[in-house]
Amino acid sequence: MSAAQRSPGASWDSPLEASGDHRGEDGGMQTPPSPQGPVDGGWGFQIPGSDYDSFMGRYSRPLATLVADAADVNAGLTVLDVGCGPGALTGELVKRLGVRSVMACDPSAPFVQECSARYPGVDVRPGSAEDIPFDDASVDVVLAQLVLHFVGDPQRALAQFRRVLRPQGRAAVCVWDAAGGMQMLRAFWDAALAVDPAAPDESRHLRFGQAGEIDDLFAAGGWAVLPESTLTVSAAYDDFDDLWSGFLAGVGPAGAYCVGLSEQHRAAVRSQLFRELGSPTGDFSLDAVARCAVAVAPD
């Protein structure tokens, strides 16, 4: 059963009110509650790991290899995966280092449970980037893949990264490129905006997707920043429904928005998205570009 078939908003751990039907009194379409301003993490992530996999995991699994390479994760290191989700990056780290050298945390209880189940032996704890539930000076590398734009207080998160890192430890942070680099999300929000110009396009609210933004955050905290890189991955879909079912799972801001719409509004977005993608009749693939920054902690 998809999130849209369940009560809409049931999987949406949003601070905003989410009701099941946003039709106006005349039965017309209304915009559901939208995220405003800096986004604090959590909503759209109280979902089963399998739903995440079919929506974002298609991208975050191949991305994990590139992020681990960018952070130079090699045998002998101890690492922490912050905002691990169901474990796309955790799995890559386990492959390279073994379970005893990998720690992970996430504020989403179902994701913590899923990541623990997938990688027995990895120390996975509930907790956010702003309050990392691990000891001072306990790891060599902190990684946060597709997380920082959901963090309410990124400066505090960086201070926490520094706290848990050993001297000369490094952090690697990556987020999707906001300037059209994540085709799936861009096409979805373009479709949503075509139907409703007030749709809460996440690229307008989420931070760190512009060139140099993560570097600037690190530099402001006194970190030694290496040149930012871009990482490109792609994901394959059997057909349009394979893509659309991911939105119906209610994952992240786009999925949470989608399942919060009335059926009529959601159908209009679906049709528009189909057109945005060139009305695919068979399999297809989409690209996604992430910005990745690596920085060495100040002494």
Ligand X SMILES: C[S@@+](CC[C@H](N)C(=O)[O-])C[C@H]1O[C@@H](n2cnc3c(N)ncnc32)[C@H](O)[C@@H]1O
Instruction: Draw the binding track, 207-246, toward ligand X (x: CB under 6 A; -: no contact).
Output: ----------------------------------------
3 state DSSP class of 266: helix
Please list every residue from 149 through 178 that binds ligand X, using CB under 6 A: 150-151
60 touches ligand X (CB under 6 A): yes
257 in Cβ contact with 196 (< 8 Å): no
Could you tell me if 293 and 174 are in contact, meaning their C-beta atoms sit under 8 angstroms apart? yes
Q: Which of 11, 108, 160, 203 binds ligand X (CB under 6 A)?
A: 108
Stretch that binds ligand X, among 142-150, 207-215, 238-246, 266-274 (CB under 6 A): 142-150
User: How many whole angstroms separate alpha carbon 252 and alpha carbon 257?
Assistant: 8
Residue 24 backbone dihedrals phi, psi, to 5 degrees = -75, 180
48 forms part of the interface with ligand X (CB under 6 A):
no
Binding segment (CB under 6 A) for ligand X, from list 21-29, 78-86, 190-198, 199-207: 78-86
Q: Is 142 helix (H, G, I), strand (E, B) or coil?
A: strand
The reply to whether 147 sits near ligand X by the rule CB under 6 A is yes
Non-local (6+) Cβ contacts of 39 within 8 A are 149, 150, 152, 202, 205, 206, 253
Residue 253 CB partners (closer than 8 Å, separation 6+): 35, 39, 43, 44, 200, 202, 205, 206
Which is closer to ligand X, CB of 19 or CB of 234? 234
CB of 297 to ligand X, least distance (A): 18
- Which residues here bind ligand X, judged by CB under 6 A? 41-42, 45, 56, 60, 82-85, 88-89, 106-108, 111, 128-130, 145-147, 150-151, 252
